[in-house]
Amino acid sequence: MATAADIERSYEFMDGILRAALGETFDFSCAHFGDEPKTLAQAQHDKHAYALNALRFQPGMRVLDIGCGWGPMVKAIRDRGGRPVGITLSPNQVRACHRNGLHDVHLLDWRDVTRETFGSFDGIVSHGAFEHFCSMEEFRAGQQLQAYERFFALCHSLLPIGGRIHLQTLTHGKHMVSPDQVSVDAPKGSIGYLLGLMTKLYANSWLPESREQIVEAARGFSLVESRNGRRDWIRTIEAWKEPKRRWSRARVWHTLLLAPKFVRDRDFRYQVECGSTFALQQLLALEVWDEWGLVLERTG
């Protein structure tokens, strides 16, 4: 799994500019557009509602959000009368959540959570964090499945029989290339180069091979439902581009703040390039990467 330092490095660059452009508790994960015309706010609201309905949510339920980001799902759970707990490895995200009244968010690695940490839960959500749960070292050592099994073992220990997880994650797609081709030294604009940029943005992380690999790792859970969100992710990124005036202000502010880092840190320059060229959107459009939402229920 990516370390706390890796996560902080990945999200430090995004924190100020994205909050300035998209709002304090913005949702940095795939919205639910479907085939309907929707605003981004409505599509994200619909994603939250879908997740809570998948958990068979009732007011008063305790829900753990693993990798809660800037707190949109924590807020949705609280607004519907639930008792959320969020965890993240990003200090900036914790500070942002606390500033915005989301005080049940903690700086904590899920690998350090036990049943004694917060008690048991009625449901678990994790949106856009699973991508970080296997490190490059674990992948190269053939330990990817075991990394995911450890996550689901934790979920199994925290949920009752019948308790559910809503998991949303990127995976590799049908046009994924060999890991040997993934490099910022690959020809610029190639799939290998785009993937190389993403390894700089998502430091020390390797995506799940497929939806099937995730289901295989989820021992003690059955798959209730799955939803492919690749086109939704593309539409989400398109919607992010729309508030041009706010993006301009955010870029000016962030450029001034981080200019010294841009000069001295080559990897940071790759991170900026990755964001400014929307490498994620290109990889989704090329079906190099995919997106899945899974509802999993504890069976025993």
pLDDT tens figures, 122-142: 999 999 999 999 998 999 999
| pLDDT tens, residue by residue, 31-90 | 999 888 999 999 999 999 999 999 999 999 999 999 999 999 999 999 999 999 999 998
22-26, 83-87, 152-156, 284-288: range with lowest mean pLDDT: 22-26
8 A C-beta contact, residue 91 and residue 63: no
Pairing status of strand 164-172 against strand 289-298: antiparallel
Residue type, 42: Q
Residue with tokens 């990124």: 237
Give the whole-angstrom CA distance, residue 192 versus residue 198.
Answer: 10
Domain that holds residue 273: 4-298
Instruction: Name the nearest CA neighbour of 170 among 125, 208, 213.
Output: 208
The helix (run of H) or strand (run of E) holding residue 294 is strand 289-298
pLDDT at 214: 98
- For 193, list phi and psi in degrees, rounded to 5: -70, -45
Residue-wise DSSP of 172-213:
E-TTPPPGGG--TTSPTTSHHHHHHHHHHHTTT----S-HHH
Rg of the chain's alpha carbons, rounded to an integer? 18
Domain of residue 167, CATH code: 3.40.50.150
Can you list the pairs that 200-203 forms with residues at least 24 positions away whose Cβ atoms lie under 8 Å?
Answer: 200/267, 200/270, 200/271, 200/274, 201/10, 201/270, 201/271, 201/274, 201/275, 201/279, 202/2, 202/10, 202/131, 202/132, 203/2, 203/6, 203/7, 203/9, 203/10
Is pLDDT at 150 greater than 90 in this prediction? yes
User: What integer is the mean pLDDT of 15-29?
Assistant: 65
Q: What is the pLDDT at residue 246?
A: 53
Q: What is the pTM of this model?
A: 0.88
Residue 256: pLDDT band (50, 70, 90) is low
pLDDT reading at 92 higher than 90: no
Q: 170 pLDDT band (50/70/90 cuts)?
A: very high
10 Å Cβ neighbour count for 264? 8
One-letter amino acid for residue 234 of the chain: I
Q: Is the pLDDT of residue 262 over 90?
A: no
Rounded Cα gap, residues 12 and 262, in angstroms: 13
DSSP codes joined into one string, 60-128: T-EEEEET-TTSHHHHHHHHTT-EEEEEES-HHHHHHHHHTT-TTEEE--GGG--HHHH---SEEEEES
Give the dihedral sign, CA 11/290/275/264: positive
Nearest Cα neighbor of 126 from 73, 82, 54 is 73
Sign of CA dihedral 13, 128, 57, 107: negative
| Mean per-residue pLDDT of the chain | 88
Task: Decide if 3 contacts 109 (C-beta within 8 A).
Answer: no
> Above 70 in pLDDT, residue 257?
no
User: Is residue 21 pLDDT above 70, yes or no?
Assistant: no
Based on the structure, what is the number of domains in the chain?
1
Q: What does the pLDDT read at residue 255?
A: 56
**Residue 300: its pLDDT value, please?**
84
- Residue recorded with tokens 């997880």: 165
